[in-house]
């Protein structure tokens, strides 16, 4: 058995298997098409149209050649609003909760023109203008982290949405890594942010990461450095599956919804048992996760290990000296954020598996924001 297979067995037996079958006040049984109105089988456009909204898919090309898929949902002309997902997610994360609870429909009902970009290197954004093939070993396609998304993708998306909607500014809601790209862009070019963004909402802002309830993050960051090993041996992407493969998971996920309680809380923390409608599990399986580059995951794990530093990618002493002029990675210079005057709201959960209260306070200090604490008890399904 290879070393990677051993790691998988350790993870499954010690962490996932003991929780298979556990419930969170939800009866675990097969999820039929009646339970979710057959949503898992529907394409994204069909699901959106069924509930009375317009759907469009747009393609934009970044300066460094990545082709990004943008999903647009509305009921006519309105204020453009961008919803940017986090790492390993797809834009479907804003539809996953279902027609009565998902953020995309909520904002569209309020009259917003909702745009949901799919980040480079996930299921719905796997093209490159230079012909780099995502599925080939050693492909240059995977040489990126969230820094490149901030540097290239952010402004490409903003400019396209502005031009298409004939708007001067857009509103921006980011989740997790979606907040990181905004903050990095704002630090690099605060004038651009002031001129193009009218409000910023940060959901679980990810700058200073400290696992508190995520056994998966703690495992791969500190105990079994699986992704560092993958990166060093040019296994360049993780959990990236074509759409047609994701669709094949539906029968299995309908038959075994209890697997949710073993897999997802292992990654996202124990509160995931309470805060997810198990009837949406098949839809999650057929549309997510989107995956990302191994380099991007390694970068996030390096930040976890850095103990409070928001730093650049660590290539190792020799290459760091070539790239940064020193043997250790530099910290990102966030001083430009002091020049940003965009109204900002930070939203966080006290039980977030990766973003602690301390992390949020530190991020708010960097953003020059005051803390207003609003507590709302968890309401399980």
Question: pTM higher than 0.85 for the full model?
Answer: yes
Q: How many CB atoms lie within 10 A of CB 223?
A: 10
> How far is Cα 110 from Cα 91, in angstroms, rounded to an integer?
19
CA distance 37 to 319: 53
Q: Quick one: which of 305, 314, 360, 364 has its CA closest to 334?
A: 364
Rounded CA-CA distance 182/165 in Å is: 21
pLDDT, mean over the chain: 88
First-to-last C-alpha distance (Å) of the chain: 41
pLDDT given for residue 379 in this prediction: 55
Interhelix angle 177-188/154-165, rounded to 10 degrees, is 90
Total count of residues recorded for the chain: 381
* Nearest Cα to Cα of residue 355 among 147, 221, 176: 176
CA distance 241 to 101: 27
Among 20-34, 125-139, 278-292, 298-312, whose mean pLDDT is lowest? 20-34
Question: Is residue 38's pLDDT more than 60?
Answer: yes
The answer for residues whose C-beta is within 8 angstroms of residue 275's C-beta and 6 or more apart is 378, 380, 381
H or E element, residue 329:
none
Percent of the chain residues topping a pLDDT of 70: 87
Q: Which residue has the higher pLDDT, 216 or 272?
A: 216
Quick one: average pLDDT of 347-357? 84
Local structure of 172: helix, strand or coil: strand
Residue 74 to residues 3, 51, 165: CA-CA distances in angstroms?
A: 48, 11, 12
Please state the rounded mean pLDDT for residues 201-211: 90
d(C-alpha 284, C-alpha 315), whole Å: 34
**pLDDT tens digits for range 133-188:** 999 978 999 999 999 999 999 999 999 999 999 999 999 999 999 999 999 999 99
- For the cut 50, the answer to whether the pLDDT of residue 242 exceeds it is yes
Q: How far is CA 233 from CA 7, 98, 294, in A?
A: 16, 40, 11
What's the CA gap between 317 and 322, in Å, rounded? 9
User: Rounded CA gap, 318 and 297, in Å?
Assistant: 21
Q: Between these two residues, 357 and 39, which has the higher pLDDT value?
A: 39
pLDDT at 375: 52
Nearest to 279 by CA among 114, 105, 100, 12: 100
Lowest model confidence (mean pLDDT) among 306-315, 361-370, 371-380: 371-380
Block residue for tokens 């966030």: 334
CB 172 within 8 A of CB 182: yes
H/E stretch holding 116: strand 113-117
Please, where are the H alpha helices in the chain? 3-11, 44-50, 103-109, 146-148, 154-165, 177-188, 190-196, 215-218, 226-232, 243-247, 250-255, 260-268, 281-287, 294-305, 317-324, 357-366
Do 107 and 75 meet the contact criterion of CB atoms below 8 Å apart? no
Q: Pairing state of beta strands 237-238 and 127-128?
A: unpaired
Q: How far apart are CA 295 and CA 109, in angstroms?
A: 38
């Amino acid at each position: 058995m290879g070393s990677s297979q051993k790691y998988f067995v350790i993870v499954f037996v010690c962490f996932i298997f003991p929780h298979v079958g556990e419930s969170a006040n939800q009866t675990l049984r097969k999820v039929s098409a009646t339970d979710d109105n057959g949503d898992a089988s529907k394409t994204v456009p069909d699901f959106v149209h069924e509930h009375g909204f317009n759907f469009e898919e747009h393609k934009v090309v970044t300066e460094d050649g990545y082709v990004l898929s943008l999903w647009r949902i509305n009921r006519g002309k309105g204020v453009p609003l961008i919803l940017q997902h986090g790492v390993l997610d797809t834009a479907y994360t804003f539809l996953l909760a279902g027609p009565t609870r998902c953020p995309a429909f909520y904002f569209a009902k309020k009259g917003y023109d909702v745009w949901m970009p799919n980040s480079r290197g996930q299921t719905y954004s796997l093209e490159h203008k230079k012909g780099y093939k995502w599925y080939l070993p050693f492909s240059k396609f995977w040489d990126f982290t969230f820094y490149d998304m901030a540097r290239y993708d952010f402004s490409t998306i903003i400019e396209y949405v502005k031009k298409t909607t004939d708007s001067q500014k857009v509103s921006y809601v980011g989740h997790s890594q979606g907040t990181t790209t905004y903050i990095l862009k704002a630090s690099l070019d605060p004038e651009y942010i002031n001129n193009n963004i009218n409000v910023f909402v940060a959901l679980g802002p990810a700058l200073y990461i400290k696992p508190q309830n995520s056994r998966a993050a703690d495992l791969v960051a500190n105990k079994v450095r699986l992704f560092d090993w993958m990166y060093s041996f040019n296994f360049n992407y993780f959990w990236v599956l074509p759409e047609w493969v994701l669709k094949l998971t539906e029968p299995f996920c309908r038959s075994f919804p209890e697997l949710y309680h073993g897999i997802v809380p292992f990654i996202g923390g124990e509160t995931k048992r309470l805060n997810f409608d198990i009837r949406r599990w098949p839809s999650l399986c057929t549309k997510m996760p989107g995956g990302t580059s191994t380099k991007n995951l390694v970068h996030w794990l390096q930040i976890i290990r850095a103990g409070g530093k928001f730093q650049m990618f660590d290539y190792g002493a020799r290459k760091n000296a070539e790239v940064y002029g020193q043997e250790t990675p530099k910290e990102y210079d966030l001083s430009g954020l002091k020049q940003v005057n965009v109204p900002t709201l930070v939203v966080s959960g006290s039980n977030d598996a990766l973003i602690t209260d301390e992390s949020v306070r530190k991020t708010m200090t960097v953003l020059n924001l005051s803390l207003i604490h609003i507590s709302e008890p968890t309401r399980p399904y």
